[in-house]
Amino acid sequence: MVDPIIKEYTVELARMAREKLDLLVREELNGGTNVFFANEKTQRDALAAGDVPKIDDIRKIVLNLKKNHVKPAADGRYVAFITPEVAFDFMDDEKFLKAYEMNQNGNPLIKGEMADVYQVKFIELVNAKVFEGEGAAGVDVHSTIVIGRKPYGITKINGEGVQTITKALGSAGTEDPLNQRQSIGYKINAFVAKRLQEEGIVRYESVPSNA
């Protein structure tokens, strides 16, 4: 009989491992040099309350991507990864809301996709990057990553990805004389994310109204 505790922890560890890999990719993408600031600011520490995210800024970013001959990520669409706070403000943006109402056709949101408007798919992520306290007067600055087609790569070694390691009850020998302990964990043996095309990755920084 399969130990249900081991099964449950294996599922939870798999989720944790996916999130860890996602964070590694997130940090690599946020290290790019192609940056656009809300409200025409020129640096992060100048961003303040009121420098909220605007859909017109995203449209300008897409225009620049096109000028740099960056093709859409997939299905003729660029992709933007946003925090829930940025998503909240976009839903108060009249241009965003109008396009959203025209394009969604009443369909429910699925797979984290918030909207598909102005040739951009917006994906809401709870672990999207936030530069805590790095704005003016210590406000949090939220990062939105807009990408085109294949601007970064991921390298793994076959058979050396995420490994789950289980130590059975009683396997510790004299270190566990009463057979009271067993363990389960995971490790990531080999994983690298790397930006390959700087012009295909844009970091848009803003201060959401409810940050």
Q: 31-151+196-206: what fold?
A: capsid protein of prophage fold (3.30.1930)
Digit-by-digit pLDDT tens for the chain (211 residues) are 455 777 777 777 777 778 888 888 999 999 999 999 999 999 999 999 999 999 999 999 999 999 999 999 988 999 999 999 999 999 888 888 887 776 655 454 445 567 788 899 999 999 999 999 999 999 999 999 999 999 999 887 776 667 777 777 777 777 877 777 777 787 877 788 899 999 999 999 999 998 6
Q: Concatenate the DSSP letters of all residues of 53-84 into one string.
A: --HHHHHHHHHHHHHTTPPPSBTTBEEEEE-H
Residue recorded with tokens 């057979």: 179
- Which of 64, 60, 139 minimizes the C-alpha distance to 95? 60
pLDDT for res 77:
93
The distance of Cα 164 from the centroid of its chain, to the nearest Å, equals 24
pLDDT for res 159:
60
What is the Cα–Cα distance from 142 to 90, expressed in whole angstroms? 13
Listed in order, strand segments (DSSP E) in 11-68 are: 35-37
**What residue type is 139 in one-letter code?**
V
pLDDT for res 89:
95
Residues 6+ apart with CB under 8 A from 45: 134, 135, 136
SS3 169: coil
pLDDT for res 198:
94
pLDDT for res 29:
96
pLDDT for res 3:
58
**DSSP bridge partners of 123:** 81, 113
- Strand 162-167 to strand 183-188: parallel, antiparallel, or no bridges (unpaired)? antiparallel
pLDDT for res 112:
56
Listed by start position, the domains of the chain span 31-151+196-206
pTM: 0.80
pLDDT for res 104:
57
pLDDT for res 116:
81
pLDDT for res 48:
97
Residues 6+ apart with CB under 8 A from 65: 78, 146, 148, 199, 200, 202
**DSSP bridge partners of 165:** 185
What region, left, alpha or beta, does residue 156 occupy, with left being phi > 0 and alpha being psi -120 to 50 degrees?
A: beta
pLDDT for res 111:
53
pLDDT for res 4:
75
pLDDT for res 106:
45
